[in-house]
């Protein structure tokens, strides 16, 4: 239980710092400017400490600081790697995508390992004991509330970015005037779709998920039939979105 609570809390800090407090422009600048890199690491540390203060645990603050240190090392390695590549040529779409996925994978693996060692060396600490005093009045479980907040934040911006980067190489050509509006509407629809699916999974209403996918397919039916390239692009995006919801649902169910 301690491992799961620690992992979700560290993951929440990572999601807020790496996605919601960092724009695409900031992400690109920190890869080439040391000042932006330092600024990002400081923001990451502040968010981590602010979230962990609720636990009022010295051990948790210590392990959270270790997580920040690990994240800073990953960012520095990324900075050096991109700097070396740019000396020869520009970064391709494939390289940017691979760097994004590899960075997030290593960060999550680092949080997983840190949570494991925290559970081993501080197994008697109740992480949410202060928060539970607040949520107990509303007859809610603090661990569940935090896990739901984490899950909802993940299925919005992080998943949208991950899917967009994956589909970038497969996206059919479209008119430039319609591209931005289609992308923004598609991301909003994807977020709403995943939110509904997440609720259905939590209620164990798995068959109802088919209704969401059917409604989405009906809206795009004409384009799917007339454009085979778009049909493959649409199917791949839908499968990735569904897979993301299933993966995120474990965050809720494991606590």
Verify that 9 and 119 share a domain, yes or no: yes
Q: Is residue 148 part of a domain?
A: no
Residue 178, pLDDT > 60, answer no
CA–CA dist 149, 135 (Å, integer):
14
Domain termination residue (choose one: 134, 169, 197): 134
Verify that 39 and 76 share a domain, yes or no: yes
Q: Kindly report the length of the chain.
A: 255
Question: pLDDT tens digit string along 229-251?
Answer: 888 888 888 899 999 999 998 87
CA–CA dist 43, 51 (Å, integer):
12
Verify that 112 and 18 share a domain, yes or no: yes
Residue 25 domain boundaries? 2-134
Nearest to 123 by CA among 36, 240, 8, 3: 3
CA–CA dist 225, 227 (Å, integer):
6
Average pLDDT over residues 152-174: 85
Tell me if 57 sits within 8 A of 83, measured CB to CB: no
Q: Is residue 151 part of a domain?
A: no
- Our CA dihedral for 78, 82, 85, 88, rounded to 10 degrees, sits at -160
Alpha helices in the chain (DSSP H): 2-15, 24-30, 34-52, 58-88, 93-121, 129-135, 142-155, 157-167, 176-202, 209-219, 221-226, 228-253
Higher pLDDT, 159 or 219: 159
Residues 6+ apart with CB under 8 A from 207: none
Question: pLDDT tens digit string along 100-153?
Answer: 999 999 999 999 999 999 988 876 566 777 777 777 777 778 888 888 999 999
Verify that 111 and 183 share a domain, yes or no: no
Verify that 128 and 12 share a domain, yes or no: yes
Residues 6+ apart with CB under 8 A from 67: 10, 13, 14, 48, 110, 111, 114
DSSP class of residue 23 equals -
CA–CA dist 78, 82 (Å, integer):
6
Domains: count for the chain: 2
Q: Is residue 146 part of a domain?
A: no
Verify that 97 and 206 share a domain, yes or no: no
Verify that 130 and 165 share a domain, yes or no: no
* Sign of the dihedral through C-alpha 123, 127, 133, 139: negative
Which pair of structure tokens corresponds to residue 184?
A: 């923004």
Instruction: Please state, as a whole number, how many other Cβ atoms lie within 10 Å of the Cβ of residue 143.
Output: 19
Question: pLDDT tens digit string along 190-227?
Answer: 889 899 999 998 888 888 888 888 887 887 778 788 88
Verify that 124 and 163 share a domain, yes or no: no
Nearest to 154 by CA among 237, 228, 90, 244: 244
DSSP class of residue 18 equals I
Verify that 129 and 162 share a domain, yes or no: no
Instruction: Please state, as a whole number, how many other Cβ atoms lie within 10 Å of the Cβ of residue 13.
Output: 25
Q: Is residue 193 part of a domain?
A: yes
Question: pLDDT tens digit string along 51-65?
Answer: 888 766 788 888 999
Higher pLDDT, 13 or 187: 13
CB-based burial of residue 65 (10 Å sphere; 0-12 exposed, 13-18 middle, 19+ buried)?
middle
Verify that 19 and 63 share a domain, yes or no: yes
């Amino acid at each position: 239980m301690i491992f799961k609570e620690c992992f979700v809390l560290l993951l929440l800090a990572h999601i807020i710092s790496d996605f919601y407090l960092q724009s695409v422009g900031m992400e690109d600048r920190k890869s080439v400017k040391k000042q932006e890199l330092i600024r990002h690491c400081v923001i990451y540390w502040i968010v981590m400490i602010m979230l962990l203060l609720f636990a009022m645990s010295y051990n948790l603050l210590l392990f959270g600081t270790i997580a920040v240190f690990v994240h800073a090392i990953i960012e520095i390695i990324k900075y050096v790697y991109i700097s070396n590549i740019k000396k020869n040529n520009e970064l391709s779409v494939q390289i940017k995508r691979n760097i994004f996925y590899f960075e997030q994978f290593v960060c999550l693996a680092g949080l997983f390992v840190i949570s494991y060692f925290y559970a081993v060396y501080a197994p008697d600490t109740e992480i949410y004991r202060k928060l539970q005093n607040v949520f107990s009045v509303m007859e809610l479980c603090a661990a569940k509330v935090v896990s739901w907040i984490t899950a909802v934040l993940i299925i919005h911006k992080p998943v949208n970015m991950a899917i967009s980067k994956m589909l970038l190489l497969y996206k059919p050509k479209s008119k430039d005037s319609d591209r931005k509006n289609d992308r923004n509407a598609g991301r909003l629809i994807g977020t709403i779709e995943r939110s509904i699916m997440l609720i259905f999974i939590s209620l164990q209403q798995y068959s109802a998920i088919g209704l969401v996918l059917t409604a989405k397919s009906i809206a795009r039916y004409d384009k799917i039939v007339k454009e085979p390239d778009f049909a493959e692009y649409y199917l791949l995006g839908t499968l990735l979105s569904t897979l993301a919801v299933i993966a995120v649902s474990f965050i809720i169910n494991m606590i």
